[in-house]
Amino acid sequence: MTVNNILQYESNIWATADLLRGCGIKESEWPSYMMPFFALVMIESRLVRMFDELKAEIGAEALADIAKEDLIDLIKDKGQGYNVYIFERNQTLKDICKNDKSFDVDFEAYLRGFDGETKDLLGVDATEGEKFLDIKGIITKLKAKKALLGYTKEWSGINLKPFDNSAITTLEEHIKRRWADISAETAGEQYTPDDVIGLIAEIIASKIEESDKLLKIYDCTCGGGNLLFGVEDRINERSKRLTQTFGQDWNDALYALAKIESRFRVDSKIEHGNTLTDDKFYNDEFDVVIANPPLWGNGTYLRVNVLV
């Protein structure tokens, strides 16, 4: 599937905000409502795709002979996450939304059916401290407005399964740009324009040489990861060098988005924390360092270091 195809989904994703508008939710608050559900759709689509690929790899006959426990272990070994409904009940968010009478119970069970890390990143059990995407808090607010089922149905109709990581990252870039445009509080934190990402990737590609050496790319203020992963994808399009990404960010929600994305990339490492006071990669060396640090004022400062 091409980038142009996936960008058709941008309007579908943004249409979910129509319901928020109808509930009287302020436009500046839309990103906090959209982020956890966008993450949910990305996770489900990729897990379903991974499961289909695994079944095709194993083959129908061999699959029938594999014990349930062994199949579960194979899925978990992929390191991309797990969900009881998807892998054991063959049900997705769309299936859960079909029964409005049992939806509340089923949706909670669906969310609790994820692996521990996914639940932490989504904020399924968030109470105090780090809530990351805080889907629990958003669900409470939507229930109070009697809009949870309708809002979840809107998202359940968005199927990203046919698209690869690069295409989904491109879609993320466009969605995050619109979030940044409407949210003054996070405008400098979560988005680097895709034309700037393209320029950075061109500069880096012109400096690196083809070799068998792994190209390690680091972003110390990675936010939601669109700069880090966008540069990686564009370098992969232009070079045969194998790449590995590293990033860190202190913002709960943006870190969670980047961490979720990293699980669908080979050996990508994303850490949570303030890079200035708690550098998680202080003992590592990198070939490429990129950054778009948050600024308190007008303008954007970009930094690119290419060491190979």
Residue 228's CATH number:
3.40.50.150
Classify residue 173: in a domain, yes or no.
no
Q: Are residues 15 and 120 in the same domain?
A: yes
pLDDT digits (tens), the chain, 308 positions? 445 567 777 888 888 989 999 999 998 899 899 999 999 999 999 999 999 988 888 887 787 788 888 889 999 999 999 999 999 999 999 999 999 999 999 999 999 999 999 999 999 987 766 689 999 999 999 999 999 999 999 999 998 888 888 788 778 777 877 787 776 554 445 567 778 888 999 999 888 888 889 999 999 999 889 899 999 999 999 888 999 999 999 989 989 999 999 999 989 999 999 999 999 999 999 999 998 876 544 444 555 666 66
**Pairwise CA distance, residues 134 & 126, whole Å:** 6
Q: Are residues 234 and 98 in the same domain?
A: no
User: What domain range includes position 95?
Assistant: 3-156
What does the radius of gyration of the chain's CA atoms come to, in whole angstroms?
20
Classify residue 162: in a domain, yes or no.
no
Q: Are residues 192 and 287 in the same domain?
A: yes
**pLDDT score, position 124:** 95
Classify residue 176: in a domain, yes or no.
no
**Pairwise CA distance, residues 46 & 49, whole Å:** 5
**Pairwise CA distance, residues 205 & 209, whole Å:** 8
Q: Are residues 10 and 53 in the same domain?
A: yes
**Pairwise CA distance, residues 71 & 157, whole Å:** 28
Q: Are residues 151 and 8 in the same domain?
A: yes
Classify residue 81: in a domain, yes or no.
yes
Classify residue 166: in a domain, yes or no.
no
Classify residue 39: in a domain, yes or no.
yes
**pLDDT score, position 188:** 45
**What contacts 24+ positions apart, CB below 8 Å, involve 91-97?**
92/44, 92/48, 92/156, 93/40, 93/41, 93/44, 93/152, 93/155, 93/156, 94/156, 94/157, 96/152, 96/156, 97/149, 97/152, 97/153, 97/156
Classify residue 96: in a domain, yes or no.
yes
Q: Are residues 32 and 107 in the same domain?
A: yes
Q: Are residues 220 and 280 in the same domain?
A: yes
Close Cβ partners of 1 (under 8 Å, ≥ 6 residues apart): 162, 163, 164, 167
Q: Are residues 138 and 198 in the same domain?
A: no
Classify residue 172: in a domain, yes or no.
no
| Domain boundary, last residue among 102, 136, 156 | 156
Provide the domain count of the chain: 2
Tokens 């059916």 belong to 113
Q: Are residues 87 and 221 in the same domain?
A: no
Q: Are residues 224 and 143 in the same domain?
A: no
Q: Are residues 147 and 238 in the same domain?
A: no
CB atoms within 10 A of CB 225: 29
Q: Are residues 40 and 142 in the same domain?
A: yes
